[in-house]
Amino acid sequence: MNRDEKLHIVVAETSPVISAGLSFCLRRLPGIQAQTLEVHSYPDLLDCIKSTPADIAVVNPTFGGTFSPQHLREAAGNDLKVVAIEITPLDRQARSLYDETISIVEDVPSMVSKIRSLAYSPDENPSDKEPLSQREKEIIVLVVKGMTNKEIAERLFLSVHTVMTHRRNIARKLEIHSATGLTIYAIVNHLVDLTEINL
Amino acid sequence: MESEYHYSPAEKMATLIADNYRLIQVMTRFGIRVGFGDKTVAEVCRDQNVDCGTFLSVVNFVTDGYTHADVAGQISVAALMHYLKQSHIYFLDYMLPAIRRKLLDGIRMRTDDVSFLILKFFDEYMSQVRGHMEYEEKTVFLYVDSLLGGSPKEGFSISTYSDHHEEVASSLHELKSIIIKYGPADADANLLNDALYDIYRCEEELTSHCLVEDELLVPSIVRLEQESGIKSRMK
């Protein structure tokens, strides 16, 4: 999933204290924009994941009678990751049914790394501090001056496909998807001068 | 254990607002006026001619963040559409113009720097939102009117309803981060903060509005189509 989108996490737990606590922790994890929903019964959990697509369900393994992680994934119909809340340690067999486990004594860095690896694919992960390459900066300047991908490709002796790949990477690194947004970025970072562009 | 709704018709209207002040917006868009004393939700709705099932469906959805399987049966599509139209009016005629004014004053707009571009970004965004809402009113809402009137328009089904909802809220996310990262340093801090607070709130409300359309409107139209014998192509 995209880094600048919010992560949707459902916390399913009968104890309101554990549920609220976990939900609160998940929303404040540094560097992770999460939005949480709490449900306290199995019928509510099923209604919830069917109506509102979630990325991760954090569930108490002893939750409700017919509950099983596989059943939940099937009901969700998307790529839902199911995480067990470990109040008492689970055995290996039980653990293997889940994508991950979070213990109620888990520390923040460990929760962050677990949620990250569940939610983002590895190639998305290190992107946020990656600087723009020289080529990407050149392309930004040409985009801001109003050139089309085809014109940029001709000017830089690249294929249109390569230009598009560069543009996707630029959008991902800067979290800017619009031409006006790129123009602002380019001016503030002195890649172009305001007098050089047609507004 | 049965799934349970957060609020029932027997709840006091004032309790809803005391629990979550954001529900004032929902109330207003349904046309419910303040001054209802200690009356229950059912009583206030009856007095003010508001469909109670639809009102509570929206309230419960906004509160809990998800819907129950039987939700479509509680909703009057006409009442929900009226609510959504009122929301459109609120965003387009009230909230977005108010943010624009604050932004304009806050960034001390000049024509020779990025402050001008920030406003341009906002204007492009506003016309994108307007376009999206007009599309809904011209296609989806008209289609629903025709369904309710008993002679559904040919060639449209709710399953063809496009989902470009993501963009509506994500562009605001981009605007916020542009102002924070690249905004003019000589801006009026208080006015700009005010504009940013409003943008955060607007983003939340737009996201919630789009969710109401996806999670309440779409299922109730599917149900309506089934009742009118139209085979929905929804999965």
Return d(Cα A165, Cα A153) in angstroms, integer. Answer: 11
Range of the domain at A41: 7-127
**Domain-terminating residue out of B72, B92, B111:** B72
Residue A52 and residue B211: Cβ atoms within 8 Å?
yes
Which residues of chain A does B64 touch, with a Cβ-Cβ cutoff of 8 Å? Answer: 37
Are B87 and B128 part of one and the same domain? yes
Higher pLDDT, A102 or A50: A102
Higher pLDDT, A62 or A157: A157
Instruction: Give tens-digit pLDDT for B126-140.
Output: 998 999 899 889 888
β-pair partners for A101 = A84
Are A163 and A86 part of one and the same domain? no
Are A81 and A36 part of one and the same domain? yes
The answer to whether residue A110 scores a pLDDT higher than 70 is yes
CATH of the domain at A82: 3.40.50.10850
Residue A56 counted as domain residue: yes
Residue A159 counted as domain residue: yes
Are B85 and B123 part of one and the same domain? yes
Indicate the pLDDT class of residue A1, thresholds 50, 70 and 90: very low
Are A103 and A148 part of one and the same domain? no
Return d(Cα B100, Cα B202) in angstroms, integer. Answer: 12
Q: Which of B207, B219, B166 is nearest to B57 (CA)?
A: B219
- Residue B5: what pLDDT? 79
CA geometry: angle at B183 spanning B177 and B188, to 5°? 120
Are B130 and B22 part of one and the same domain? no
For chains A and B, count residue pairs whose Cβ atoms are closer than 8 Å.
75
B92 min Cα distance to partner chain A (Å): 21
Chain B within 8 Å of A178 (Cβ-Cβ)? yes
* pLDDT per residue of chain B (235 residues) written in tens, 0 to 9: 445 778 999 999 999 999 999 999 999 999 999 999 999 999 999 999 999 999 999 999 999 888 888 888 889 999 999 999 999 999 999 999 999 999 988 887 666 678 888 888 999 989 989 998 998 898 888 888 888 888 877 777 777 665 556 667 677 888 888 888 888 878 888 988 999 999 999 988 998 898 899 889 988 888 888 887 765 444 3
Are A181 and A148 part of one and the same domain? yes
Longest dimension (CA), chain B: 64
Type of residue found at B119: L
Are A67 and A159 part of one and the same domain? no
Q: List % helix, strand, coil for chain A (3-state, nearest 5).
A: 50, 15, 40
The 8 Å CB, 24+ separation contacts for A87-92 are: A87/A18, A87/A60, A90/A61
Q: Give Cα separations from A56 to A118, B64, B169, B211 (angstroms).
A: 8, 17, 21, 18
For A184, name the nearest residue in chain B, comparing CA atoms only: B114
Are A105 and A144 part of one and the same domain? no
Indicate the pLDDT class of residue A103, thresholds 50, 70 and 90: very high
Are A86 and A32 part of one and the same domain? yes
Residue B84 counted as domain residue: yes
**Domain-terminating residue out of A127, A144, A174:** A127
Q: Which of A5, A47, A181 sits opposite B69 (nearest CB)?
A: A47
Instruction: Give tens-digit pLDDT for A55-92.
Output: 999 999 888 767 888 888 988 888 899 999 998 888 88
Which residues of chain B does A177 touch, with a Cβ-Cβ cutoff of 8 Å? Answer: 170-171, 174
**Domain-terminating residue out of A72, A97, A127:** A127
Residue B172 counted as domain residue: yes
Residue A2 counted as domain residue: no
For A35, name the nearest residue in chain B, comparing CA atoms only: B65
Which residues of chain A does B176 touch, with a Cβ-Cβ cutoff of 8 Å? Answer: none
Instruction: Give tens-digit pLDDT for B11-50.
Output: 999 999 999 999 999 999 999 999 999 999 999 999 999 9
Range of the domain at B189: 76-227
SS (H, E, C) A61-117: CCCCCCCCHHHHHHHHCCCCEEEEEECCCCCHHHHCCCCEEEECCCCHHHHHHHHHH
Are A169 and A123 part of one and the same domain? no
**Domain-terminating residue out of A70, A102, A127:** A127
Q: Are the CB atoms for B96 and B39 separated by under 8 Å? A: no
Residue B83 counted as domain residue: yes
Are A12 and A88 part of one and the same domain? yes
Q: How many CB atoms lie within 10 A of CB B135?
A: 14
Are B55 and B90 part of one and the same domain? no
Q: Are the CB atoms for B16 and B36 separated by under 8 Å? A: no
Domain count, chain B: 2
- ipTM for the assembly: 0.72
- Residue B71: what pLDDT? 84
Residue B67 and residue A47: Cβ atoms within 8 Å?
yes
